Structure 1
Amino acid sequence: MVTNFEFVFQKNNMGIGRRKQSTARVFLNPGTGKLIINNTPGEKYLQYNTIYLTNVYAPLKALGLEDKYDVIVLTKGGGLTGQADSIQLGLARILCQINYEDRAILKAEGFLTRDARIKERKKYGLRKARKAPQYSKR
């Protein structure tokens, strides 16, 4: 558990990312490249999954800033995949706020695109969004 935060949560210092049901608020501080998610080291929170970790660090690696910033994240909702993708989007957005010239690189890599796919709503007369009751001829 990480408790010694030496930064201030500020709205102008925050990037928000969303994916499916998850939301991530990402804060950047000059530092050594640590990742802290919900007061837990990022590797432990993401269960040491290399796919999730590479997704989260991808915007920083694209700009060559892996060891320049500490990333602090507050995330909720959804599962680990959605949270990892929402962290990636929030991180890319805050990097654009810091240096607008980096926007072209991040946009070309696809880090600034919001994945708009969400769960389809249930319709009346059906069991789920598309699953219909079994057809009976007689």
Structure 2
Amino acid sequence: MFRGILAGGLALSAASLIMTGPAAYADLQAPYARAAAIVDADGELNNGKNILKTWRASTGRYCVMVDKHVTTSTAVIQITPRAPRRLPFIAYRSPSATCHETNTITVGVYDTSTGRLADGGFDLTIS
């Protein structure tokens, strides 16, 4: 039963992404988010709340350094793609072989057509 619910939720999420297109800019004054970031495909931080810096480590691999008073190891993190056919995911929470920094989230982005890492912007929210 749980698998059916999970599969239905994933299908619904995918359908909503296809129908709505890229996510709108996040309200970075969101009082309920501990941290948030809008990251461009080149790794630049477009806008952020409690984010120290972001960078593109390599093709499809990004690092998001969060302020030290926001703990990433136990946080609920949501990532939304900013481009069609891109699927971002959390590769490591902190530290990773890619980012080498404490309290840094490593994000990977896949091209859903090829199944390979590809550059693509994303919105990140930490609750």
Taking structure 2 as the reference length, what is the TM-score of the superposition? 0.27
Bigger radius of gyration among the two: 1
- If each structure's helix is expressed as a fraction of its own residues, which one has the higher value? 1
Select the structure that is richer in strand.
2
TM-score by length of 1: 0.25
